[in-house]
Amino acid sequence: MNAFILSENRFDPKNIRKNESIMCRGNGYMCVRASLEEKYIGEQRNTLINGVFNAPPGEVSEIAVLPDATNCEIEIGGERFDMIRTDIQEYSRILDMKAGEGVRSLVWKSNSGRIRLEFKSIVSLTKKHITALKISITPLDQDTEIKIRAGIDAKVTNTGVQHFSAPVRRVYEDGILGLYLKTLQSGVDVSVHCRCSCDKPYKEEYTTDRRSVYSCISLSVKQGETAIFQKLTSYATSRDVEYAETDVCPETVNRDGTEYLKQALLCGYDALYAESAEMWKKYWEQSPLEICGSDFENKAISFAKYHLNVMASKDDNRVGIGAKGLSGEGYKGHSFWDTEIFILPYYIYTEPETARRLLEYRYKLLDSALLKAKRYGFEGAMYPWEGAWLTDGETCPEEGDLDLMTGEVRKNMMGEIEVHISADIAYAVWQYFQATGDEDFMQHCGYEMILLTAYFWSSRIAEKNGRYEILGVIGPDEYKDNIDNNAYTNYMAFYNLKLAEKIMDKIPEHLRKKYDTQKMLCRITETAERLYLPKADKDGIIPAFDGYRDLEETDTSKYKNRDKVGLIFKDYGFDEIQKLQVGKQADTIMLFHLLGDMFSDEEIKRNYEFYEQRTLHDSSLSMCFHALVGAKCALADEAAAMYHRACSVDIGENVNNSDEGIHSASIGGIWLALAMGFGGLCVEDGMLSVSPILPKGWSGYRFTVCFCGTRLLIETDSSGSQVKRLCGEEKEIRLSGKKLVV
């Protein structure tokens, strides 16, 4: 089994949307879902650019679906190519993750005889504004008349919501089609240009219908000959990082968009592919990652690494990572705590520059966080639960689920009370600093972030029972609303407060001038001292929140480990679930990884088992963390089974799971559970430590770790583990408890 190939050997319309998501192509700037060239019912044809958000009146800002340039209709002898109504043979469709190319090949039994078709497409990794398509058409039985209609289509919406003005449409003398439009509220200019051509003599006409412009190519191809059609497209927007410091006008965006395309046209598909594939090759080679002995897990880890390259910007610190990456409009393109807790560790230890950019994005959201705190009567930095563009503020929709019978909409409280994200961000800042020693980042961003998030906690507490408590929150488990003293939130807040104490004497002068740091420190210290941290009860269980153990126990086996999530809602309403000992996802157990030092091994194991039984894993964030913590509790086989489930979230059998996009947290979690769970990767007192264990069924694994400028390869198999230095200075590290110099 080739670990770098995702494939489909039979066209099944049921899989259209899932394949669009998991096989999407992108480069961190933009992403194109892997929609088939010809249209099908049920498809979700999205092209997305990181940072292009728009908020229609009364709705929150969301990533706007851009004009489509993937649609391409082929007609042979007057018959439209369509895989549902016609006979298709020798079908194969793959995503070659090693090179970032999608390839579909088949033989179509048309009324004009058999036609061999091959479709290849990329989103260039080297020329970030460019997408490219190449179609090879070979009539096998007779000479044939072929027509191809392709262009740019702005008849696109985000599931019905229109974000763009009516476009200006143009065809230039050199056959370049152009389409310019603006987001309706946020005023982002977008230009799309494309050029279609063929390697055999052809006739080209231009047509247009509402919000679109097309090139229609017709040609005759002899039996056995191959006609190669090519379409290159460029996207540019006024939000591009190239214009970050300027007030750019639409003409410049259009001009640059045309220029990007002209540069690409000088190369053509093959050269664009070669250059982009070379860059992909370097990406794979720089940090080897492999699980041996288990093909599925090995494919999953490659899949994760592929998407981790597609989802994060390579040069823009004004954008984050969406819950679906850029692979679909699900979760409106918003960034959650998913980034800091699940995804960031991969970048911290593999691509620290990307990790820094992502944290700088959070730094740039500080103003929003300060404003949000004020709005709710608090101080310090209360980070948006859902982040979008820098000036969008909190983008968590206030409307929750709809009761169809009454028409009432439940208020969504997450934006207001799912506050743990502030501590999660502070935690991630410290993790980054531990692994990189990047004092420059700390001076410019990190110390201020830690200070202001800690200060937030000192205002978010309430004096109760002679101590400080954190009341009325939603913890990671989103099936519980408005709870008091969620263990996860309280412990993470405590860690955040302690971090602020720790960094106080490193706070740079400019911050001392900006804030009354002495006053802040006093409040922070006092809060840390008096903050209530739920402790294990007589059974050794740390209550997930106040009163948890008094809730009714229920048999969860009916609802968990099934194909569908949310099954519990068939039997219980949301309010009834509040009264049950059931959870949506990993919650308290996450502390055993994040703040492992604060708990004994015995406590961890007991609580892991207790809470796992009560967790439905209805969120894709759940399995990877259970695998990670399971591995730490020496429950290696259980952890491996959980890991398998985490790996299945996107590439498993479930056909609809990824319709709206891949699950970026779970994808980050696949790496996290491997490196930090099975691999035991952590930093202890400034020293890198790994202590790999090998679960049953695996014969080995390897991953790389970048630590303070040195890149190390960690390899484990049944004979033991070793660490090799790939580049950078010598480092003293700990391998399975023993110190050694690499």
CB closer to ligand BGC, 298 vs 619: 619
Least distance to ligand BGC from the beta carbon of 316, Å? 22
Least distance to ligand BGC from the beta carbon of 342, Å? 9
* End-to-end Cα, the chain, rounded Å: 34
Residues 455-494 close enough to bind ligand BGC by CB under 6 A:
476, 478
Strand partners, 80: 75
Compute the Cα dihedral for 330, 335, 338, 339 and give only its sign.
Answer: positive
Q: List the structure tokens of 128.
A: 């970030």
Three-state secondary structure readout of 128-189: CCEEEEEEEEEECCCCEEEEEEEEEECCCCECCECCECCCEEEECCCCCEEEEEEECCCCCE
β 732-735/687-690 pair status:
parallel
**3-class secondary structure, 106:** strand
CB closer to ligand BGC, 447 vs 611: 611
Three-state secondary structure readout of 186-230: CCCEEEEEEEEEECCCCEEEEEEECCEEEEEEEEEECCCCCEEEE
Please choose, out of 203-211, 332-340, 396-404, 653-661, the segment that lies near ligand BGC by the rule CB under 6 A. 332-340
CB closer to ligand BGC, 470 vs 474: 474
Please choose, out of 189-197, 305-313, 334-342, 653-661, the segment that lies near ligand BGC by the rule CB under 6 A. 334-342
Distance, CA of 2 to chain centre = 24
Least distance to ligand BGC from the beta carbon of 496, Å? 18
Least distance to ligand BGC from the beta carbon of 354, Å? 19
Considering only residues 101, 338, 416, 650, which one is a binding residue for ligand BGC as defined by CB under 6 A? 338
CB closer to ligand BGC, 102 vs 661: 661
Least distance to ligand BGC from the beta carbon of 331, Å? 6
CA–CA gap between residue 226 and residue 616 (Å, rounded): 54
CB of 338 closer than 8 Å to CB of 620: no
Please choose, out of 171-179, 205-213, 333-341, 526-534, the segment that lies near ligand BGC by the rule CB under 6 A. 333-341
CB closer to ligand BGC, 46 vs 619: 619
CB closer to ligand BGC, 287 vs 585: 585
Least distance to ligand BGC from the beta carbon of 714, Å? 29
CA–CA gap between residue 366 and residue 383 (Å, rounded): 7
CA–CA gap between residue 480 and residue 588 (Å, rounded): 13
Least distance to ligand BGC from the beta carbon of 678, Å? 23
**Is residue 20 annotated as part of the catalytic site, yes or no?**
no
CA–CA gap between residue 228 and residue 230 (Å, rounded): 6
CA–CA gap between residue 565 and residue 569 (Å, rounded): 9
DSSP label at 703? Answer: E
Residue with tokens 């092209």: 47
Query: 124: how many CB neighbours lie within 10 A of its CB?
Result: 26
Q: Is 541 in the site for ligand BGC (CB under 6 A)?
A: no
CA–CA gap between residue 738 and residue 396 (Å, rounded): 47
Please choose, out of 72-80, 229-237, 290-298, 331-339, the segment that lies near ligand BGC by the rule CB under 6 A. 331-339
Query: 400: how many CB neighbours lie within 10 A of its CB?
Result: 14
Q: Is 331 in the site for ligand BGC (CB under 6 A)?
A: yes
At position 115, the amino acid (one-letter code) is: I
CA–CA gap between residue 313 and residue 101 (Å, rounded): 19
CB closer to ligand BGC, 236 vs 417: 417
H/E stretch holding 562 reads none
Q: List the structure tokens of 400.
A: 């929750």
Which conformational region is residue 331 in: left (phi greater than 0), alpha (psi within -120 to 50 degrees), or beta? left
H/E stretch holding 412 reads none
CB closer to ligand BGC, 323 vs 639: 323
Least distance to ligand BGC from the beta carbon of 478, Å? 4
Q: Is 665 in the site for ligand BGC (CB under 6 A)?
A: yes
Considering only residues 65, 323, 628, 735, which one is a binding residue for ligand BGC as defined by CB under 6 A? 323
Strand partners, 30: 49
**Pattern 580-619, ligand BGC, x by CB under 6 A:** ----xx---------------------------------x
**3-class secondary structure, 692:** coil
User: How deeply is 247 buried, as exposed, middle or buried, from its count of CB atoms within 10 A (0-12, 13-18, 19+)?
Assistant: exposed
Residues 558-587 close enough to bind ligand BGC by CB under 6 A:
584-585
Q: Is 287 in the site for ligand BGC (CB under 6 A)?
A: no
**3-class secondary structure, 61:** coil
DSSP annotation string for 298-335: HHHHHHHHHHHHHHS-SS-TT----EEEES-SGGGG-B
Please choose, out of 336-344, 359-367, 481-489, 503-511, the segment that lies near ligand BGC by the rule CB under 6 A. 336-344
Q: Is 659 in the site for ligand BGC (CB under 6 A)?
A: no
Least distance to ligand BGC from the beta carbon of 620, Å? 7
DSSP label at 445? Answer: I
Q: Is 621 in the site for ligand BGC (CB under 6 A)?
A: yes
Considering only residues 269, 336, 468, 678, which one is a binding residue for ligand BGC as defined by CB under 6 A? 336
Least distance to ligand BGC from the beta carbon of 66, Å? 23
Strand-by-strand arrangement of the 732-735 sheet: 682-684, 687-690, 732-735, 738-741
Q: Is 260 in the site for ligand BGC (CB under 6 A)?
A: no
CB closer to ligand BGC, 527 vs 556: 556
Least distance to ligand BGC from the beta carbon of 622, Å? 9
Please choose, out of 13-21, 238-246, 329-337, 402-410, the segment that lies near ligand BGC by the rule CB under 6 A. 329-337
Residue with tokens 């919501």: 161
CB closer to ligand BGC, 616 vs 621: 621
The catalytic position among 73, 360, 478, 526 is 478
CB closer to ligand BGC, 280 vs 342: 342
CB closer to ligand BGC, 229 vs 336: 336
Q: Where are the beta strands (DSSP E) in 287-435?
A: 290-292, 323-326, 399-403, 408-411
Least distance to ligand BGC from the beta carbon of 386, Å? 8
H/E stretch holding 550 reads none
Distance, CA of 180 to chain centre = 28
CB closer to ligand BGC, 337 vs 361: 337
Residues 98-137 close enough to bind ligand BGC by CB under 6 A:
none
User: How deeply is 377 buried, as exposed, middle or buried, from its count of CB atoms within 10 A (0-12, 13-18, 19+)?
Assistant: exposed
Q: Is 337 in the site for ligand BGC (CB under 6 A)?
A: yes
Select from 674, 682, 620 the least CA-distant residue to 292.
Answer: 674
Least distance to ligand BGC from the beta carbon of 422, Å? 14
| Size of site (CB under 6 A) for ligand BGC | 12
Q: Is 451 in the site for ligand BGC (CB under 6 A)?
A: no
Task: Kindly list the residues in this chain that would bind ligand BGC in the complex (CB under 6 A).
Answer: 323, 331, 336-338, 476, 478, 584-585, 619, 621, 665
For the annotated catalytic residues, the residue numbers are 478
